[in-house]
Amino acid sequence: MTQTSNHKTAKEIINSLNTGNYYCECPCGCGEEIKLKDADLFYLDNFTANGKEAQEAMLEELKKQRLKFNRKKEHKSKHTQSVNFGFISEKIVTALKNFPFEHNDCRSLFKPIDYIIFENLNKKGIVTNIFFTEIKSGGAYLNQHQKEIKSLVENRKVEFKVY
């Protein structure tokens, strides 16, 4: 069968279904019967007027969804870059000139907090303060574990133990 004869055959079948007294069950599963002549039957892209309107509406909605998806994807990409920059910067920040502590006083943990800093250990050989330090960049904020650690320190629930 050629494409032209397929088109012709499909058109004849659709005409016969549209003019006859044929019914089908609603595809949503509700059990309701639908007259096929009310179903806007078509073959390939040979839509009825209602079908063409529905197709255009669906294409427009698809266009909006694609745009929304691309915006989210772009936002996620920027967020990922920001997070990656944060991971890198928290590893090297102690070596920067403006960092307020001596690099050699810093001990890295990175999880759940970035550093414990033993102030003056390197230069004076004595620890004058201990700081639990978290490095953040941009609009980053403390996660739940970091907030809990901050609260424990602020409420003086920190102990020293020897085992």
Nearest Cα to Cα of residue 130 among 115, 144, 149? 115
pLDDT for position 86: 67
Q: Is the pLDDT at 152 greater than 80, yes or no?
A: yes
Domain shared by 140 and 73, yes or no: yes
Q: What is the pTM of this model?
A: 0.49
Its domain, for residue 77, covers 48-155
Q: Which residue has the higher pLDDT, 60 or 110?
A: 60
Domain shared by 33 and 63, yes or no: no
Tell me which of 4-18, 58-72, 84-98, 146-160 is least confident.
Answer: 84-98
**What are the b/e assignments for 130-145, b being 16+ CB within 10 Å?**
eebbbbeeeeeeeeee
DSSP string, 55-90: HHHHHHHHHHHHHHHHHHHHHHHHHHHHHHHHHHHH
**Is residue 131 within 8 Å of residue 116, measured between CB atoms?**
yes
Instruction: Please report, rounded to a whole number, the percentage of residues in the chain having pLDDT higher than 70.
Output: 98
Domain shared by 35 and 66, yes or no: no
Domain shared by 53 and 101, yes or no: yes
> Quick check: is 147 in a domain?
yes
- Write out pLDDT tens, residues 64-118: 999 999 888 888 877 777 767 767 777 788 888 888 999 999 998 988 999 999 9
Average of pLDDT values for 130-144?
A: 88
Domain shared by 17 and 94, yes or no: no
- Write out pLDDT tens, residues 23-35: 888 888 898 998 8
Q: Tell me the torsion sign for CA atoms 85, 90, 94, 97.
A: positive
